[in-house]
Chains A and B, each alone.
Chain A
Amino acid sequence: MKLRRLIGFNLLTAVILGVVGFYVGWWLGHLFDAASIDYFEDTGQNDIALFIAYFTGVVGFLVGLGFANYPVQRMLGKPSSLREKETRGAGRYFGLCTDHKVVGIQYLIGIGAFIFIGGLNAMLIRFELLTPTQHGWNANNYLTLVGLHGTMMMGMMTSGIIGPFANYLLPVMIGARRMAFPRIEALTFWLLMAAGVVLMTTIAFGGFPTGWTGYAPLNDQANMGMDAYIAFFALVGLSMSLLGLNMIATVITMRAPGLSWGRLPIFVWGVVSTSVLMLLAAPVLISVLLMVMLDRTAQTGFFNQAAGGSPYLYENLFWVFGHPEVYVLALPGMGILLEILPVFSRKPLWGYKLAVTGMLGIALLSFLVWQHHLFVSGINADLRPFYMLSTELISLPTGFIFVAALGTLWAGRIRLTVPMLFSLAWLFNFLVGGLSGVFLSDVPSDVTTHGSFFSMAHFHYTIMGGLLFAFFAGIYFWVPKMTGFQLNERWGKVHFWIMFVSFNSTFGPLLVIGFLGMPRRAVTYAGYLQGANTWVSVSAFVLGASMLIFLANFVYSLVFARVPAGSNPWASKSIEWQLPSPIPVHNFDRIPTFGDDPYPYGTDAGVAHRPAVAPARPTA
C-alpha cells in the first residue's frame, strides 16, 4: 500500500520528470547545428541548449508535482482531483498541498536548507580571505563562491519571512481560512525550490564570475554557468511576483468582518508593503534577464557597447529591481519586530499610524533611489544631488519604524525571551546598518566607500543583522505555534549571544576595512589588512558555528524532546495565540469578528490575557 502511493503526482515523480525534462531540452538544444551557430564550436558553450533544458526541466518538475492537473482536468471537463486538498499525513509536506499552513512549513524548511548552503559558501569565502597569498580555491572558483553566496541568499531571503510566516499566519491574522489563490501559493514554493536546484547546477557548468549583480558585459563573456544564474533569478522573480500578488489579493478580499485596514496587525502591513514591491520590481528583473539571455544566445547587443548597446542599461535596469529588492528584504523584518515588541513589553504598539506610514513610505521611496549604486560610474552629474536627497529621505520612514519600536518599549514590562533578544538586536544592527547607509548615500563619502567592504558590511548589517535576526526572532516566536512544540529557551539564548557577538565582530571591522581601501569580491588584498581579515574570518567561523547550535536545538527540540508548547506560551493577545498549537486544518470553527484594537495590552489591569477577538470558539 505504501508503495502504491509512490506512483502518482508527488515529489519523486517530479524529480524524475524534471531530470527527464532537462535531458529532453538538452537534446532539443543540441539540434541547433554547430555549423550554423559558429560560436558553439569555438567556445564549446551551447547556452541555447542549457536554457531550453532548464525550462523543460522545471516544467517537468512542476508537472510531476501535479500543478498541471487542475487546468488539464477542467479542460477535459473532469472534476479536479482531491489529492492536493488532503488534510492529514506527513506526505502533504512533500508535494503540492494547498493548505497555507503546510506551504508555510515547507517554505521554512526549504528556505532554511538553501540558506545553510549559502552560509556554507560564506564560510568558504572567509576561509579564502584568511590570508592574501595562500589560496584554498582555484581563482575562478572563488568568484563562483562569492556569486553563489550572494545569489542564493538574495534569491531565498526575499521570500525568507513572507514565505514561512506570512503563508502560515496571514490568513489566521485576518480571520480567513485560506489564501486567495492556494494553488499559486504552492507554486511559488516549488518554483523557489526548483530555482535553488538550478542555481546549484552552475558548478557543473563552470560557475559564474559576476557576483550576484551580474553586470554586463562580463555576464556575456561568462561560461555556461552564467545561464544557471539567469534561470535562477527568472524563477525567483516569477515566484516573488506571484507571492506578492497572492498576499495583496488575500488581504484585500479575505479579511474577516470588522477588520478594517486600520485594525490590521502591523505584521500584515509589513507583508502588504513588501508585496507591492515584489509585484512591481520582480518583473523588471525578469525582463532584464531576458535581455541578457538574448545577448548570450541570439547575440543581440543590448549591453554590448561595441554593438551599439550600453552596459549602463544593464546597471540601471538591474538596480531598478535591485533597490526595491533590498527593501523587500528589510520590510518584513520590520513587521516581525513591531509584532513581537508589544508581546514582550506588554504594551500596545506605539505610533501604529506612524509605523504604517513608515512602511508605505519606504515602499514608495524605494523606487526613487536606485541610482545611488551608480554615483561614480559616470552618470549624468546633474542627477546625483537628486538621488542623494531621495536616498537620505528614505531614512525618515525608517526612523518612524524605530520610533514606534522605542515607544513600544517605553514603560513596558519587558521580558527578555529569545524572540525579544533577537528583536532588540535587530534595533542595534539596523541602526548601524542604517547609519552606514547614510555615509553611502552621501556622494563625496561614497567616492571612497562604493564597491568596498564598507558597502558590503552596510548591507550585511541591514540584511543579515536586520532580516536574518528578525527571521530567527520569528522562528523562536512562531515555531511553537506552527509545530506545537517548544524550542529550548536556554539553547536559544546561547545561540543568540554567540550569534550577536560574532556577527558584530565579523562585520564591524569590515566597515573599517572597507574604509581602509579593500575592494569587494577581491581574492587578494593589501598586506596591511591581513590581521584584520584574519580576525574577521575567525569571527565568521564562530558565527557559522552559532548556526549549527541553532540547528541542533531545532532538530533536538522538535524531533526528540517534543515538549508541548500549549496554545499561548508567550501570553500574547494576538489572534493566532488564541488557537491551538499547531493551528487546526480549518483554522477556525467560525470566522471570528475583530474588535477595534489589535494590541489590547493594558486595557484590563491585572488580567494576564484575554482573547483579542470575540466571539471565536476555536476547537480544542
Chain B
Amino acid sequence: MKLVAVAGGVLVVAALIAAYVTFLTGGPTPYRVPQARAAGARSANLTLQTVAAVGSKLSPNKNWVSYLVREQGVWHRSTVWTLPANAVVHVTIFNYDGQSGLRNPFLAQPRGLLDGDTFAVDGKPMKVLDPDTASHTFAIPALGVIVPVLGIADDAKNQCEYAPCEESMAHETVTFSFRTGKPGHYRWQCFVPCAAGFIYGFGGPMQTIGYMDGFVNVV
C-alpha cells in the first residue's frame, strides 16, 4: 500500500517535471529560407513584414509589434530562420508600422551590407536614414549587419490594423543584401524602441523571441 503511494508520487512528480521541461522547450519552429543558385553563387531570398499590432489570431498579445516571415506565400509569425552558409541573402522588408525613432541615431546608418553598405528604401538607394523616421531595425550584430527600416507617416492613408497586412495598405519597403559566412548560430534583434507602453520601448515584444527578436542559423 505504501509502495503504491510512493510509486504514485514518483510518477506524478516525473509527469510534472516532464510538463515543465516541455513548456520550456516550446518556442517558434525554425523556418528554413529556400535557397537558390544564381551565377554559381549560393543565394537566398528572405521576405519579411513588420507590423504595428500582430493581432489575436497570431498571438495572445494582440497589440504587440512583430516581424512576420513569408513562407510560400503565407505570412507566419516566426523569427528563427535557417540561412545557407557562404551565400548572399537578399532581404525585403515590408513595414506597416509608424515611426518611433532610434534611441541611438548612430544605428540609422546601415553596416555589414553588400554594395558599400547601401540599402534601398522604396526602391531609392540610400546611405543613411533620418533616425527619427525609423520604425524598426534588422540587425545581426555578430555578423555586423544592421539596417534601419523607414516607418510610415503618421497621416498615411489605409494603415494596417492587425497582421497579416496586405500590400495594398500603407507601407514602406526596404531591401538590402548581406553575405553569410561560415556556419553559426546568431541572434538578431530590432534596435528601435518600438514596444509601445514599455519603459524605453524595450520590453515585451522587444524581449520575446517570436516578435522583434530571433535567431539566424547559418548552415
Direct contact of A and B (CB under 8 A): yes
The chain A residues found within 8 Å of chain B, CB to CB, are 38-45, 120, 124, 133, 135-141, 145, 203, 206, 209, 217, 220-223, 304, 306, 555, 559-560
Distance A135 CA – B28 CA, assembled complex (angstroms): 13
B185 at the A interface (CB under 8 A): yes
In the complex, given contacts A138-B209, A223-B204, what are 4 additional A-B residue pairs having Cβ atoms less than 8 angstroms apart?
Answer: A43-B198, A44-B60, A138-B27, A221-B200
A133 B185 Cβ-Cβ under 8 A: yes
| Closest CB in chain B relative to A552 CB, distance in Å | 10
B119 at the A interface (CB under 8 A): no
A43 in complex: contacting residue of B23, B203, B213, CB < 8 Å:
B203
A138 B26 Cβ-Cβ under 8 A: yes
B208 A206 Cβ-Cβ under 8 A: yes
Proximity string of chain B (195-219) to chain A, C-beta cutoff 8 Å, 1 when within and 0 when not: 1111110111001110001010000
B156 at the A interface (CB under 8 A): no
A139 B17 Cβ-Cβ under 8 A: no
Q: How many residues of B contact A (CB 8 A)?
A: 33
| Closest CB in chain A relative to B177 CB, distance in Å | 25
Q: Which residues of B contact A133 (CB under 8 A)?
A: 184-185
Using A136-B25, A137-B24, A138-B26 as known contacts, say yes or no to A42 and B207 having CB atoms under 8 A apart.
no
Instruction: Name the residue in A136, A139, A206 with the highest tally of chain B Cβ atoms < 10 Å from its Cβ.
Output: A139
A222 in complex: contacting residue of B17, B25, B203, CB < 8 Å:
B203
Distance A124 CA – B184 CA, assembled complex (angstroms): 23
A221 B198 Cβ-Cβ under 8 A: yes
| Closest CB in chain A relative to B77 CB, distance in Å | 14
A42 B203 Cβ-Cβ under 8 A: no
A217 B23 Cβ-Cβ under 8 A: no
B208 A44 Cβ-Cβ under 8 A: no
Distance A87 CA – B187 CA, assembled complex (angstroms): 61
B24 in complex: contacting residue of A145, A223, A559, CB < 8 Å:
A145
A41 in complex: contacting residue of B20, B27, B60, B63, CB < 8 Å:
B63
B25 in complex: contacting residue of A120, A137, A559, CB < 8 Å:
A137
Using A42-B63, A43-B204, A139-B209 as known contacts, say yes or no to A203 and B199 having CB atoms under 8 A apart.
no
B2 at the A interface (CB under 8 A): yes
B204 A124 Cβ-Cβ under 8 A: no
Using A38-B197, A39-B197, A42-B196 as known contacts, say yes or no to A139 and B203 having CB atoms under 8 A apart.
no
B207 A140 Cβ-Cβ under 8 A: yes
Q: Which residues of B contact A45 (CB under 8 A)?
A: 197, 204
| Closest CB in chain B relative to A545 CB, distance in Å | 14
A44 B17 Cβ-Cβ under 8 A: no
| Closest CB in chain B relative to A83 CB, distance in Å | 26
Using A120-B17, A222-B203 as known contacts, say yes or no to A138 and B25 having CB atoms under 8 A apart.
yes
Proximity string of chain B (168-203) to chain A, C-beta cutoff 8 Å, 1 when within and 0 when not: 000000000000000011010000000111111011
Q: Which residues of A contact B208 (CB under 8 A)?
A: 140, 206, 223
Q: Which residues of B contact A120 (CB under 8 A)?
A: 17, 20
Proximity string of chain B (81-103) to chain A, C-beta cutoff 8 Å, 1 when within and 0 when not: 00000000000000000000000
Q: Which residues of B contact A137 (CB under 8 A)?
A: 24-25, 27
B207 A138 Cβ-Cβ under 8 A: no
Q: Which residues of B contact A136 (CB under 8 A)?
A: 24-25
Distance A138 CA – B17 CA, assembled complex (angstroms): 17
B187 A139 Cβ-Cβ under 8 A: yes
Distance A367 CA – B3 CA, assembled complex (angstroms): 50
B199 A304 Cβ-Cβ under 8 A: yes
Q: Which residues of B contact A559 (CB under 8 A)?
A: 2, 6
Q: Which residues of B contact A304 (CB under 8 A)?
A: 199
Sample of 13 A–B contacts (CB below 8 Å): A43-B203, A44-B63, A45-B204, A120-B17, A137-B27, A145-B24, A203-B23, A220-B203, A222-B203, A223-B204, A223-B207, A559-B6, A560-B3
Q: Which residues of A contact B197 (CB under 8 A)?
A: 38-43, 45
Instruction: Name the residue in B26, B61, B64 with the highest tally of chain A Cβ atoms < 10 Å from its Cβ.
Output: B61
9 nearest A-B residue pairs (beta carbon): A42-B197, A221-B203, A39-B197, A43-B197, A138-B27, A42-B196, A44-B61, A220-B199, A137-B24
Chain A: CB-nearest residue to B27? A138
B63 A560 Cβ-Cβ under 8 A: no
Q: Which residues of A contact B207 (CB under 8 A)?
A: 140, 209, 221-223
B198 A124 Cβ-Cβ under 8 A: no
A221 B199 Cβ-Cβ under 8 A: yes
Instruction: Name the residue in B3, B60, B199, B208 with the highest tally of chain A Cβ atoms < 10 Å from its Cβ.
Output: B199
Q: Which residues of A contact B25 (CB under 8 A)?
A: 136-138
Instruction: Name the residue in A41, A43, A137 with the highest tally of chain B Cβ atoms < 10 Å from its Cβ.
Output: A43
Distance A41 CA – B187 CA, assembled complex (angstroms): 29
Q: Which residues of B contact A203 (CB under 8 A)?
A: 20, 23
Distance A224 CA – B62 CA, assembled complex (angstroms): 16
Q: Which residues of B contact A220 (CB under 8 A)?
A: 199, 203
Q: Which residues of B contact A39 (CB under 8 A)?
A: 197-198
| Closest CB in chain A relative to B180 CB, distance in Å | 16
B41 at the A interface (CB under 8 A): no
Distance A133 CA – B185 CA, assembled complex (angstroms): 6
Q: Which residues of B contact A40 (CB under 8 A)?
A: 197
Distance A135 CA – B2 CA, assembled complex (angstroms): 41
Instruction: Name the residue in A38, A120, A135, A138 with the highest tally of chain B Cβ atoms < 10 Å from its Cβ.
Output: A138
Proximity string of chain B (37-78) to chain A, C-beta cutoff 8 Å, 1 when within and 0 when not: 000000000000000000000001111100000000000000
B64 in complex: contacting residue of A44, A124, A140, A222, CB < 8 Å:
A44
Q: Which residues of B contact A124 (CB under 8 A)?
A: 21, 24
A217 in complex: contacting residue of B61, B62, B200, CB < 8 Å:
B200
Chain B: CB-nearest residue to A296? B199
